[in-house]
Amino acid sequence: MDTYLSQLNEAQLAPTLQKDGPMIVIAGAGSGKTRVLTYRIAYLMSQGVDPFNILSLTFTNKAAREMKGRIAKIVGESEAKNLWMGTFHSVFAKILRIESDRLGYPSNFTIYDTQDSDRLISSIIKEMNLDKDIYKYKQVRSRISSYKNSLITVKAYFNNPELIEADTTARRPQIGNIYKNYVDRCFKAGAMDFDDLLLKTNELLTRFPDVLAKYQHRFKYILVDEYQDTNHSQYLIVRALSDRFQNICVVGDDAQSIYAFRGANINNILNFQRDYDDVKVFRLEQNYRSTKNIVNAANSIIDKNQTKLDKIVWTANEEGAKIKVHRSLTDGDEGRFVASTIFENKMHNQLPNSDFAVLYRTNAQSRAIEDALRKRDIPYRIYGGLSFYQRKEIKDVLSYLRLIINPADEEALKRVINFPGRGIGQTTVDKLIVAANGYDRSIFEVMKHIDKIEIKINSGTKGKLQDFVTMIESFQVMNKNANAFELAEHVTKASGLIREFNKDGTPEGITRLENIEELLNGIKDFVEGQKELADATGSLPEFLKDVALATDLDADKGDPNHVALMTIHLAKGLEFPYVFIVGMEEDLFPSAMSMNTRSELEEERRLFYVALTRAEKQAYLTYTLSRYRWGKLIDAEPSRFIEEIDEQYLDNITPIEERRFNPMLDASIFGDVEPNKIRFKKPTQRSPKRKTAEKRAETFKISTPKNLKKISSSSAATNLFDSKLTVGNFVNHQRFGKGEVLSIEGKGADIKAEINFENGGKKKLLLRFAKLEVI
Ligand code: ATP
Ligand code: MG
């Protein structure tokens, strides 16, 4: 037997060697589903299947790359290269570019990311004069997204009285019209959003039988990982493509279905046997990832769910340590516990940073963990925050580049038409939009013919618009001969972007410049890489193709030896020796928004199951007694999920008394002393004054840009608290985003600031509680 096959147990071998026909592997976490998929592809190739005929769909592009890497080791680099592997979005974006003319799109269509979609929807809501408090753009976007993922087109929407009725009852009768405008505008801009990549693929495969036949023949073997989280749109694509040969292999775990809120349909896995004839069902039961304690604890949790397939998961691994449960006073304290535990483990056991992961329910929780890790000089990386390509300065550069390739791209145009400032105000842009809608042309075309059309814009501004058009056109000329790097470098200078950020002079401005430099380096790398490929030219369209789909998880640059910080949703399929699950509190996890129905709560429980089963050796569950949420200090209660674990698998390691009354430990709150170094215990009550100072230091976590001095002592915090924030300052708030301080009132602990936020409008915040970052 081939050596790689000897790395599978018998239960795993069966699906691996099952070459043809529809099949499903349903199995619990860590039982080798992904390994089976990987080895199965290698096996198919050893049986003479051309890699060109294999399509493998994964949850992240990173997972696809890793899989490909492993396959390459078995079958050789040159063979593995021809495999089609990636996420649904990236694979079908590629196909849509090839077939774009069928759908009336240019092959270099823009992919709008969520930010672009949000902006366009906001703009449409404004143009339609709708109340933005009723029509919240994010809600509208998710509504449109769910229509698209259920394949409800605009036409289907207006043909369905029930949908119209539902939106009307919800006091949002204009949703359908917003949807229509949004779709029209995307089409006119030559842009597809993420959901379109699936919706349009479905359209392509249903409307054009010859295209369907072509890809059915091409993808004779189709494999799907994490099948439990496919949505209806993805399901239909897989169904259509596999219909001819029925060589479809899906693997998944119903207990790990955690994307229902985004339209994932657990029935896809439950009904698989009904969809195809003679489905072979395989089950794997042995977990290779985790200790007995972790596997058993995870089983005891998922047992509480009523809706589930009965599955057995066991492991031959060692018993292992119990799951450690830790309680702290505040989220800052929780962060310090995580950091010091990582620190100690690393020291005692000589472990790399990459052995540790910190998982949380919501992105906002990363802040306190980051602060603590930074204090200990422990390198970390946040995954899934704002991806590199979504940062402001990077999007600015990319928007110029997008315009060169696709001048119809409305979002790109609106973003940079007046950045850097060229005296083209919002009123002018609004007029351009109205004209573009009226003439049914793109804004750029309207600008090109600004002299010939009727529009109330003064001649000075018209001149500025023409200058902008001339600049973009000059870039387009250059694009004919220059490679992506040469062009991008020129654009950053000629557009005035570099000058603009240079002028800024703040640490933040410098960081932005560095990021632009990193982007240029990335483009250079890309151009160099392309030189080796015969049919690639290193041109700009090639570079831009998938940028919108690139996520943080994909760009694994820099030193890989770091602690990973990410949401549980993102951790799916991954594994780490040491896993911290932080914020194990009611209303946070389970989330307050997911406790209304049993099915919502069960999804939260599955999420917890996913989190716990990422751990190989040791899991930590931490919770705090109080936490800052939405700018307020609130009391927190331990999550019901902790209680749900059979006690025999838990080890409570909270030094409660010490933490309450030990002044030395209080000092450790400021990171001055390590808690575990403290042997001296003397219960004394803290003075009220000291308490307030601490509270401020704790509350007033103004995070400073890297290069500025950190606020590390209570007195510094007090200073900042009392005086540093002034009218006209710009600040950042976790939830409301950027804002300008309009006024400040009150004294001491009651100081309030009125701030006008980008995302929330005017708000009065009590500085004592608001987590603000001065920018
Ligand atoms: P998840 O449900 O979390 O996605 P999974 O079922 O896909 O998990 P894998 O990631 O494939 O599980 O495997 C879990 C771990 O066990 C991996 O480190 C894998 O290399 C290892 N493993 C799987 N099968 C075996 C085996 N037969 N022998 C040794 N190690 C194995
Ligand atoms: Mg897996």
* Predicted confidence (pLDDT) per residue in 706-717, tens digit: 322 222 223 222
- Tell whether residue 748 is among the known ligand binding residues: no
- Is this prediction's pTM over 0.80? no
Q: How far is the CA of 258 from the centre of ligand 1 (A)?
A: 20
Q: Residue 345's pLDDT is what?
A: 94
Q: How far apart are CA 753 and CA 733, in angstroms?
A: 13
Cβ of residue 415 lying under 6 Å from some atom of ligand 1: no
Q: How far is the CA of 36 from the centre of ligand 1 (A)?
A: 8
Cβ of residue 198 lying under 6 Å from some atom of ligand 1: no
Please give the number of the atom of ligand 1 that sits closest to the Cα of 27: 6
Cβ of residue 648 lying under 6 Å from some atom of ligand 1: no
Looking at the CA of 225, which ligand is closest? 2
- Tell whether residue 463 is among the known ligand binding residues: no
- Tell whether residue 255 is among the known ligand binding residues: no
**Catalytic residue IDs:** 33-34, 225-226, 256, 614
Q: Residue 60's pLDDT is what?
A: 85
**Token pair 């040159």 in the structure block, residue:** 78
Q: How far is the CA of 614 from the centre of ligand 1 (A)?
A: 11
Q: How far is the CA of 1 from the centre of ligand 2 (A)?
A: 25
Please give the number of the atom of ligand 1 that sits closest to the Cα of 36: 11
Cβ of residue 121 lying under 6 Å from some atom of ligand 1: no
Q: How far is the CA of 19 from the centre of ligand 1 (A)?
A: 21
Cβ of residue 15 lying under 6 Å from some atom of ligand 1: no
Q: How far apart are CA 555 and CA 391, in angstroms?
A: 14
Q: With CA atoms as reference, report the closest residue to 185 among 117, 137, 92.
A: 117
Cβ of residue 7 lying under 6 Å from some atom of ligand 1: yes
Cβ of residue 289 lying under 6 Å from some atom of ligand 1: yes
* Alpha helices, H only, 440-596: 443-448, 459-479, 484-494, 497-504, 507-531, 540-544
> Distances in Å between the alpha carbon of 340 and those of 292, 351, 390, 595, 675?
26, 14, 32, 33, 8
Structure tokens at 231: 């949505």
Q: Residue 511's pLDDT is what?
A: 81
For β-strands 626-629 and 632-635, DSSP reports them as antiparallel
ipTM attached to this prediction: 0.99
Mutation pick for ligand 1 pocket among 288, 315, 569 (CB with most ligand atoms within 8 Å): 288
Q: Residue 474's pLDDT is what?
A: 97
Cβ of residue 614 lying under 6 Å from some atom of ligand 1: no
Mutation pick for ligand 1 pocket among 289, 291, 299, 609 (CB with most ligand atoms within 8 Å): 289
Looking at the CA of 11, which ligand is closest? 1
Spans of the chain, pLDDT less than 70: 1-2, 385-387, 531-537, 551-559, 656-724, 735, 748-750, 759-760, 768-769
Angle ∠(60,63,67) on CA atoms, nearest 5: 145
- Tell whether residue 31 is among the known ligand binding residues: yes
Q: How far is the CA of 34 from the centre of ligand 2 (A)?
A: 4
Residues constituting the chain: 775
DSSP one-letter string for 106-142: -TTPEEE-HHHHHHHHHHHHHHTT--TTTS-HHHHHH
Q: Residue 3's pLDDT is what?
A: 85
Q: Residue 405's pLDDT is what?
A: 94
Residue ID of nearest Cα to ligand 1 atom 14:
30
